[in-house]
Structure 1
């Protein structure tokens, strides 16, 4: 049965925890026509959250995105709950508290003695088992995962995760509620990380591994993934956006729940930065610095101009070789056509899943002359180069100057199997295939 064919039939939604996530859920629920009761153990937190949400609506009214009447109507739907007992009238309660199993179990156990027996208890957990949270309840059939992403109003997806004992009708109704709130609902099985955070392990985790191996710096990795990979933002920009207090906890949770699966191993780099309070945007500094909320991206290193030298291109991949030959000819550099390069030539290689050193040795070439070019995503928006540890410095600079001759940005990396883009994409494909195999 489709979500559209089921009415969610919720009139009053309770929220426990009025941080960024709770506020976003409250905003969407009120806009969808529900009365929203907010509770937080911190004194003044609900009033602060209500003022914040009303401020968003007022700014939208000022910009004529909604009417003044709508802004006021939405605001009237926000109701402060003085204590947990005040949530008794709620048809569904969504918890958005600390990401600790015992805390969520304790909250739901308390709520069971307050709300009606037919009320739904929804957890916004990002990585904990919904089944484990429900295990502390007398009626686990009414417990379900309802996982939004921050910032909630902008991230138009919500995961609906039934536990092993969640009733089918509740799953259907919560799916319908997510749709009514304006989000795409992705129903996932109750496995570590669910769908999105499971799939996301490859993007950030492999990027952190690249960084830990000193292949390059965070800004270069981000530029490669955006320009060459076509991602909306790079992994380190994303980590700064979500905050390491959230991201590192998810990394560790998924890793341990999969019994230390090596592909999901967290990085000591994020643990250290978490300990130092370098969480990202929320603290003004993470992998980048932020001034008035604006990311301070470091400038790219300048490429010194080089005089044209002979260029020899490996025919290991004829299609890639043809693209490079056209670029060399257009730049006006001399192109060698012999089977073997001269001793003065810059040798351009196009490895797939290899490092420059191994690629050179496999082809019987002098690694001192070799620079590899990542051809996985073409040469249009950015070009990634990789020298061997013994490549002559003047040839590394010559390669960068050549590939930058038409103004296209160039990133130069330390030797590593699979550059940056190839490594991250390969991990994404592997994790995605595993998700499909598991039926997540």
Structure 2
């Protein structure tokens, strides 16, 4: 598996932000790079942007004068497509329109040598369909960078139906040589990242629509308890609701309106209003010089408890026992088959299993208060709690006092099934399992993509291994029962792992 040589000419079509970023990646790897744009003004702007980036790096001492001169000398503005004829690899980064992409690539294909590789940076269109419009579909693949391309490590190597394995291998090796993190996947809607990430946005929007908590509170839970770099609402504001909504709708339509990917009316309303997020000055949050960001709803201080009993195995929440001891609380442990409860001054508290606390009480379970999953119970700064309407008087305050004694900020949400992190992780893991089941990508590449493409704190399948596939499957089943929707159906592979007890990763989790 050989990478393209630094002596090989790389061509990039499209001088926008993505195209200019890809040019920098190839220049940094030592290639000559020809940059073409059908609009001369756009080409000039792209070249100026690349030069300005290198000037800033020079001023900051990140590169020296010789490196600056070398890289800018290897950037070759192309006046016509004919100037790309000697390229070993052409990367297209133009408008997301199949007809336009195919037309431009058809023109350049006629100019290239027979072994030249044609790559599209599309994030949503079918690589198979693009290849089918060309004369040498075996030479066509997806090379999907993430914006900003010079900074984000992930590159999805996307094989269409006719893509030659040798072409995919060359692109994989080339991406490695360019100091990127490549993953392989098949050409299906959303590839890996844009498909697997849909529940991160979708469940947050569903929770907001159900009035489980404010956007600021849900974001704080995802960040401070879940370990995600950004909350779903602030991330959607950063991406732009027009873009995020369009991707969701594209995946939803491409997968024949599968309810898992159903767009949210809340987000459509923002798009219709022109509240697109940071770029418009208003999204879920206000932006601008005098904007006041709303604060999450943090529970007030509650009394410190005195009597803690752990009944059964807390599973992934087991670190709470040592945290309690470290906080100076007396902790007793009792065996109980099939039970996992925290008794706090006589109040039963449990990790959510996808049921609401009210549903648990109705099922004869004593836990009238439930707490959410966390990325790291020991190191995280927050925890989410919910209590049933029929929970005993003061139960929520008692549970709040316990977690505050452990040094946690307590964020209270309405008694919704699965709370925030547990349902989000279950849905992300379920989507990842379907990607693996359907042969889109391997378990390792799927998790690698989510960690490196969207900065998840842990790969979804690695998280399923930690929580247990049986727990994930149980959460999904309880969500499906609560909502009565196919949206929460278990992926066949998730159910299989729940039954056979095998992890998705046999080595170190990603």
TM-score (norm. length: structure 2): 0.74
Structure 2 partner of 1:341:
none
2:134 is paired with a residue whose SS is coil
Q: 1:208 aligns with which of 202, 205, 209?
A: 205
Count of aligned pairs between the two proteins: 430
Q: Larger C-alpha radius of gyration, 1 or 2?
A: 1
How far the C-alpha of 1:231 sits from its partner, in A, is: 2.5
Q: Determine the structure 1 residue equivalent to 2:449.
A: none
In structure 2, what is the Cα distance between the partners aligned to 1:325 and 1:186? 39
Change (3 A) 1:322 1:183: closer
Instruction: For 1:393 and 1:21, locate their aligned partners in 2 and report how far apart those are by CA, in whole Å.
Output: 56
The unaligned stretches of length 5 or more in structure 2 are: 335-344, 441-510
Separation in 2 of the partners of 1:149 and 1:413?
34
More deviation in 152-161 or 213-222?
A: 213-222
Confirm or deny that 1:166 pairs with 2:163. yes
Say whether the 8 Å CA contact 1:15–1:93 is kept in structure 2: yes
| Aligned partner of residue 188 in structure 1, secondary structure | strand
Q: 1:201, 1:428 → 2: CA distance? A: 8
Residue of structure 1 in register with 2:254 after alignment? 257
**Structure 2 vs 1, CA of residues 428 and 295 (structure 1 numbering), >3 Å: closer, same or farther?**
farther
Indicate yes or no: 2:300 matched with 1:304: yes
Q: CA deviation at 1:104?
A: 1.6
Task: Report the CA distance shift for 1:364/1:301 in structure 2 as closer, same or farther (over 3 A).
Answer: closer
Which shows bigger deviation, 178-187 or 273-282? 273-282
Within a 5 Å distance, the mapping from 1:27-426 to structure 2 comes to: 27-291=24-288, 297-306=293-302, 315=311, 323=320, 327=324, 347-363=348-364, 370-374=368-372, 379-380=377-378, 381=380, 382-389=382-389, 396-397=396-397, 399-405=399-405, 407-426=407-426
8 Å contact 2:6–2:29 — kept in the other structure? no
State the distance in 1 between where 2:150 and 2:119 align.
18
**Once structures 1 and 2 are overlaid, which stretch shifts more, 416-425 or 161-170?**
161-170
Structure 2 CA distance for partners of 1:188 and 1:75, relative to 1, 3 Å:
same
Task: Normalising by structure 1, report the TM-score.
Answer: 0.84
For residue 23 of structure 1, give the secondary structure of its aligned residue in structure 2.
helix
Instruction: Choose 107-116 or 381-390, whichever is displaced more.
Output: 107-116
Cα distance change on mapping 1:378 and 1:114 into 2, 3 Å: closer
CA-atom RMSD, angstroms?
Answer: 3.6
CA apart distance, 1:55: 1.7
Structure 1 pair 170/329, CA: closer, same or farther in 2 (3 Å)? closer
State the secondary structure of the residue aligned to 2:157. Answer: strand
1:76-106 CA distance string (max 9 Å, x none): 2222223434433433221112222222222
Q: Which residue of 1 aligns with 2:429?
A: 429
